Structure 1
Amino acid sequence: MFHALAHPTRRHILQVLHARGGAMTSGQLAKRFSHAWPTVTRHLRELEAAGLVAVTAVGRERHYALDVQRLNTITDLWLRAFRTERS
């Protein structure tokens, strides 16, 4: 999961998905980036493999949706260690 989040383009894809209601088609996402289509789809596959987005095929389109529970795992398990209260 952290490998997928390490790349700025993949983080940007997640931000775009979030800003657009959490779901978009691959074509809608690709239009938002100056990268070539194969580059965008490679990043989407990385995010899918990490479980950060879910993909559903609808006809010839692929719909990508944020997996909010998986993203919350980062906050709940890893970032919690940095939220220690100091007296």
Structure 2
Amino acid sequence: MKKQTKKGAAASRDERRMQQVFHALSAPPRRAILKYLAASSLTAGEISSRFDMAKPSVSQHLTILKTAGLVSRDKRGQYVHYALVKQTVETALMGLLTDLGAMPPAAEDKPLAEQDPSSPTAGRARKSGVATETDLPPAEKPAPAQMSMF
């Protein structure tokens, strides 16, 4: 059996992590959990109350998401709070786009906001590491929805 070098072992580890991420993303309940966590962190009880399934099943989905690195756990007193790890999601999707040839390889290691240094928002996004809606130039912002009092 051929001995793996450190570089080969790291590539294998990265490949396994990517497989875990996409396996975690393959189930609709796990994607729904990630959608809820994108808005705010939630306790396991708050998450399970949003689903019509047993609490152990929700716990199993949370374990898969945690193992893939898509969510983080923070124990506060008797409650465990879960939060989305946006960096893992971004890295996985950027890696997929690069593998498919939809993204140039030079941009693969940079966060989304830093890929175009001439962008007027690159400096603001670089500070936080994530581009937000407020970082978009005024022409690209979506129009606010019309609200009625009645």
Which bracket does the TM-score occupy, shorter chain normalised?
0.7 to 0.9
TM-align CA RMSD: 1.5
Cα separation, 2, equivalents of 1:57 and 1:16: 19
Q: Give the alignment's TM-score, normalised by structure 1.
A: 0.86
User: Secondary structure of 1:54's match?
Assistant: strand
Matched, 1:70 2:88: yes
Which residue does the alignment assign to 2:31?
11
Aligned length: 83
Cα separation, 1, equivalents of 2:33 and 2:68: 14
Q: What runs of 5+ residues in structure 2 fail to find an aligned partner?
A: 1-20, 105-150
Which residue does the alignment assign to 1:83?
102
Matched, 1:51 2:69: yes
CA apart distance, 1:60: 1.2
Cα separation, 2, equivalents of 1:68 and 1:84: 19
**Matched AA of 2:26:** A
Cα separation, 2, equivalents of 1:24 and 1:48: 14
Report the identity percentage: 39
Contact kept in structure 1, 2:97 and 2:103, CA below 8 Å: no
Choose between structure 1 and 2: higher strand proportion.
Answer: 1
Cα separation, 1, equivalents of 2:28 and 2:57: 13
Q: Give the alignment's TM-score, normalised by structure 2.
A: 0.52
Contact kept in structure 1, 2:66 and 2:73, CA below 8 Å: yes
Q: Which structure carries more relative contact order (alpha carbon 8 Å, separation 6+)?
A: 1
Cα separation, 2, equivalents of 1:63 and 1:82: 37
CA apart distance, 1:83: 2.3
Rg: which structure is higher?
Answer: 2
